[in-house]
Amino acid sequence: MSRVAVLVALSALVAVALAAPQQPNTTPIPIIRLENDATPDGTYRFSYETGNGIQAQEQGRLNNVGTPDEGNSVQGSFSYTGPDAVQYAVQYTADNEGFVAQGAHLPTPPPIPAELARALEEAARQPDPNDGGQYQPNLYGNQGR
């Protein structure tokens, strides 16, 4: 056999090996339960459960329909078993105030120091009557920049 034929055969073998799937095929996870309901007024609800124990549910609705403050409010939860065999669960809400998630495994911020809490409360009690909530560059020495 010539060197060229050996080189072609080895190249073909390497190409076939590289083209093979790098991970084993996984078995599809069945959906055991699925519910989905949406109404014309913007409310909805869905939930599902999979064969590997994942569960999720959510419900939402439109608020202030037809106004500039129109938006959604959502409540939901999901749970799953992590790779460490621990069951994780999260409950959440989302609305015009933002997204808030709660779960025993989620980190929590440290408490606000008492001095800072008092200062924030005092500032909230005494708003500046000249502050319309807009950025005013002249107050910060940024005129014309």
> Within a domain: residue 24?
no
Instruction: With respect to residue 108, please indicate whether it lies within any of the assigned structural domains.
Output: yes
Query: Listing from the earlier edge strand, what are the strands of the sheet with 71-81?
Result: 31-38, 44-50, 55-63, 71-81, 87-95, 98-102
Position 71 in a domain: yes
Structure tokens at 123: 């500032």
Instruction: Confirm whether 43 is domain-assigned.
Output: yes
101 inside domain: yes
Tell me the torsion sign for CA atoms 49, 53, 54, 58.
Answer: positive
* pLDDT, tens digit (0-9, with 9 covering 90-100), for 12-38: 777 777 777 777 768 899 999 999 999
Q: What is the 8-class DSSP label of residue 140? A: G
Does 18 map to a domain? Answer: no
Number of domains in the chain: 1
3-state secondary structure of 120: helix
Model-level pTM?
0.60
What is the extent of the structural domain holding 47? 31-125
Six token digits for residue 116: 């800072």
Does residue 1 belong to any structural domain of this protein?
no
Is 12 within a domain? no
Q: Summarize pLDDT for 85-104 with one digit per residue, the tens.
A: 999 999 999 998 899 999 99
* Gap between the Cα atoms of 122 and 115, Å rounded: 11
